[in-house]
Amino acid sequence: MIPSASDWLLGFQRPDWLRSVNIDAEELAQDSARRFGGDASLYLPLHGWFLATSSWCDGIEHLLFRHHSFGVFEAETRFGPVLQSDSGTTVPTRIVAERHVQTVVGSIPPAIDVLRRIKAERWMLQATSPRKLGLD
């Protein structure tokens, strides 16, 4: 059995700071365009990446996979140090990613705040090889 993302959240202790907001990537991209300049299409891939986890599990808990300090770092790694439009607009990716997380959850929580709330299960400690999973 390969665990799903929602399996990691079984018994998860939902933090008080996890707000129940209904916001979409397009709305966030428009807000970024107003705040930082350029067209919303410049920001849409970044906001879409943060919110793509909504298909991983039910409820707002999906935000916990990327909406923390390490998620900001991962966004910068994935999208590069700056977002640059065809018209020459450049914006630091980290600034946009931090603003995204602050807008959605109200702050930028340390990743450890999320990890500490995961209920440890035996299967989480059992590493396996790609060969055993049929992935080689």
Nearest CA-CA partner of 45 in 70, 25, 73, 21: 25
Contacts of 43 (CB under 8 A, 6+ apart): 28, 29, 32, 33, 36, 83, 96
Please tell me the predicted confidence (pLDDT) of residue 43. 97
| Model pLDDT for residues 47-76, shown as the tens digit of each residue | 999 999 888 887 777 888 898 999 999 999
Please tell me the predicted confidence (pLDDT) of residue 116. 83
E strands present in the chain: 82-84, 90-92
| Model pLDDT for residues 71-96, shown as the tens digit of each residue | 999 999 999 999 998 788 899 999 99
- pTM (two decimals): 0.82
41 alpha carbon, distance to own chain's centre: 19
Question: Confidence class of residue 136 from pLDDT cuts 50, 70 and 90?
Answer: low
Instruction: Indicate the residue type of 95.
Output: I
Question: Confidence class of residue 133 from pLDDT cuts 50, 70 and 90?
Answer: low
Question: Who wins on pLDDT, 23 or 135?
Answer: 23
